[in-house]
Chains A and B, each alone.
Chain A
Amino acid sequence: MKEVKINVNGKDIIAKEGEMLAAALLRAGYKRFRKSVGGEDRSLFCGMGICFECLVRVDGRTVRSCITPVREGMEVQFEES
């Protein structure tokens, strides 16, 4: 797969075009995507678009990163813990 650059919370990282964004984020060392209601860190869980644990903002839209393919230049935002 071709390598592309994406921006995560203001930092550029290298990802593979067409892979799922969640995989790119995990590979780059981002593991915690949200804080739960009770304040715990949560990460990717179902990996197939069902559980909503891996929600992030991409170019202003809320998406499930596990079913969103990586595209050159995408801007990704989420709250890091």
Chain B
Amino acid sequence: MKRADVERKEVEILIVGGGIAGISAAYVFMKNHKDFLLVDEYPFIGGQYLRRNPEYQPKDTETRRTGFRLESSLEGGENIWTETPVVGCYKEGEIAVLRKGKPYIIKPHKILIATGAREKFLPFPGWTLPDVMSAGAVQALIKTSGYLPAKDVILAGTGPFLLAVAYEFEKAGGRVKEVAELNPIGKLIGFSSAIFDWEKGTEGIKYIAKLWRKLSYGWRIVEARENGGRIKVTFEKKGKRREEETELLAIGHGFAPNIEFAQLCGCPVAYKHELGGWVVKTDDELKCTDRIYAAGEVTGIGGARKALIEGKLAALTILGVNEKERESLMKTRRKEVKFAEKLNTFFSPSDKLWLSIPDETIICRCEDVKMRDIRKATEEGFVFTGEIKGATRVTMGNCQGRICFPIITEFLRSLRGEPPEAMSIRPPIKPVDLGVFTEFEENQRASKALE
């Protein structure tokens, strides 16, 4: 690839991530005739919450209605780049992206990071089997592609998200055999009545009304096995075991913010268990550094409504306008965060469960590193994330620790009472075909030499 092949582009504001938070901000910039560019690696905007499919657009909540409205007013715009992963932040202020495979270097004056979150898992032997999938994958297949991946499913893990997916699975024509919530029911009822929220509450009631016969509480998965083309799941509760059979097992144990790009840009991060793990630190107006702002799940797991509010707040902060409105958004945001902290704390596997992951469980799916290896490394006195990585190869695979690092973090936090330090991040943070990347780097050097 020749030098001319890397295009450069200057822009006032770059938004990384087009989920609810990103489009909420973009809408403000559009209305204010600002020069902005929004990039997202998915082929659609709307992120995890909207998951674009023109044939599947439930408008059941106010947040969803607003989301779809924002999405359709932005979609197809020249400054909305889909299928565009951000792969690095190479020099002060230079952001490398690949738009449908073509490399660009973007030079923005300000950056809004809205990279969202991913799912988190409490692994068990058998979670790597082909018929075990994340709950999010099941939802994505149904919503984005209109494809029901099995006739029947057991959903297991923790959190209201499992109910949402179960509800969608049945609506799409499948049969939910069970939704197994890790946490005990007594705790759950007390919790729900303590923090009832109208929009989320009515959504929850809708799910429970449809599914209540299928809900179980306090059971954890001991293992999953393949059995004649189906999955056999062993559950355990207070020493009692039972086996269930299903075509598909869907699991999910909460969410973890995607902080890697922010880390690469030098934004401060902090571990907050009540907000899903490692989060990007901001001030009350969502500012991280001089030129960088963050909004949505990346500042702490809190759902779509929090993301919507934060996107707008961050955009107004960047523009420095509407002080009154900003103040009221900050107030609502604080309420959302409080609610989220309770939810995340409640729907989370206990320390005991993180500590009792069986030795033979694969932790790093990319490199097949097992729990035994991690335990051994900690027993041998390796303390820092980098040391454990060196000793076991954990986090060194294709996914760069996106799946296993949250597991290691929770294990070590449960073991020592405090989390390990964050993982160090290096570009590219998204896969880049080798040829493109080396040329990219060379190009960076070449242009530096020219300056």
Partner-B contacts on A (CB < 8 A): 1, 16, 18-20, 22-24, 26-27, 31-32, 36-38, 40-53, 55, 61-62, 64, 66-69
Residue on A nearest B51 in the bound complex, by CB: A48
A67 and B134 contact, Cβ closer than 8 Å, known pairs A20-B145, A50-B118: no
Chain B: which residue is nearest A19 at the CB level?
B145
Judge whether A48 and B118 touch: CB under 8 Å.
yes
Contacts of B138 in A (CB 8 A): 47
A67 to B430, CA, bound (A): 13
Q: Which residues from A are CB-within-8-Å of B130?
A: 31-32, 41-43
**Binary A-proximity of B123-144 (CB < 8 A = 1, otherwise 0):** 0000010111110111111001
CB neighbours of B147 from chain A (8 A): 19, 23, 26-27
> Which of B6-14, B68-76, B209-217, B362-370 faces chain A?
B362-370
Is there an interface contact between A45 and B365, defined as CB atoms closer than 8 Å? yes
**Across the two chains, which residue of chain A brings its CB closest to B118?**
A50
Chain A residues near B43 (CB, 8 Å)?
A: 18, 67-69
Task: Report if B403 contacts A (CB, 8 A).
Answer: yes
Query: What separation, in Å, do the CA atoms of A52 and B147 have in the docked complex?
Result: 20
In whole Å, how far is B126's beta carbon from the nearest beta carbon of chain A? 10
Task: Name the interface residues of B38-71: CB closer than 8 Å to any CB of A.
Answer: 41-43, 48, 55
Task: Select from chain A the residue with minimum beta-carbon distance to B393.
Answer: A37
| Minimum Cβ distance to chain B for residue A23 (Å) | 3
Q: A41-B130, A43-B133, A44-B133 are in contact. List 7 more A-B contacts (CB 8 A).
A: A18-B43, A22-B145, A23-B147, A46-B136, A48-B119, A48-B136, A66-B137
**Complex contacts, A66 vs chain B, CB 8 Å:** 137, 140
* Total interface residues in chain B, CB < 8 Å: 38
Asked whether A55 lies within 8 Å of B137 as measured between CB atoms, the reply is: no
Interface of A is mostly: loop
List chain B positions with a Cβ less than 8 A from chain A. 41-43, 48, 55, 83, 101, 118-119, 128, 130-134, 136-141, 144-147, 149, 362, 365-368, 397-399, 402-403, 431, 433
16 contacts between A and B (CB under 8 A): A1-B55, A18-B43, A19-B145, A19-B147, A23-B145, A23-B147, A26-B141, A26-B147, A36-B128, A37-B367, A46-B118, A46-B136, A52-B366, A52-B398, A66-B140, A69-B83
> Is B128 within 8 A of A42, CB to CB?
yes
Cβ A1 vs Cβ B146 within 8 A: yes
Residues of A within 8 A of B137 (CB): 44-48, 66
Across the interface, do A61 and B48 meet the contact criterion of CB distance under 8 Å? no
- Complex-state Cα separation, A36 to B85, whole angstroms: 25
- In the A-B complex, list the 10 residue pairs whose CB atoms are closest, starting with the nearest: A47-B137, A23-B145, A43-B130, A19-B145, A52-B398, A23-B147, A47-B140, A38-B368, A37-B368, A69-B43
| Smallest CB separation, A62 vs chain B (Å) | 6
In whole angstroms, what is the CA distance A56 to B397 when docked? 16
Given contacts A40-B128, A43-B131, A67-B42, contact A50 B145 (CB under 8 A): no
Bound CA–CA A64/B418 (angstroms): 34
Q: How far is the CA of A77 from the CA of B41 in the complex (A)?
A: 22
Q: Which residues of A contact B149 (CB under 8 A)?
A: 26
Shortest Cβ distance from A63 into B: residue: B431
Interchain CB contact under 8 A, B433 and A62: yes
Smallest CB separation, A26 vs chain B (Å): 6
Give min CB distance, A47 to chain B, whole Å: 3
Q: Which residue of B lies closest to A55 (CB)?
A: B398
B141 with A47: CB separation less than 8 A: yes
Evaluate whether A51 and B403 lie within 8 angstroms (CB atoms) in the complex, with A23-B147, A46-B119, A61-B101 already known.
yes
Contacts of A24 in B (CB 8 A): 145
Instruction: Enumerate chain A residues within 8 angstroms of B41, measured Cβ to Cβ.
Output: 49, 67
In the complex, what residues of B have CB within 8 A of residue A50's CB? 118-119, 399, 402-403
Instruction: Give B145 Cβ to nearest chain A Cβ, in Å.
Output: 3
Measured CB to CB, the closest approach of chain A to B140, in angstroms, equals: 4
Chain B residues contacting A44 (CB-CB under 8 Å) are 133, 137
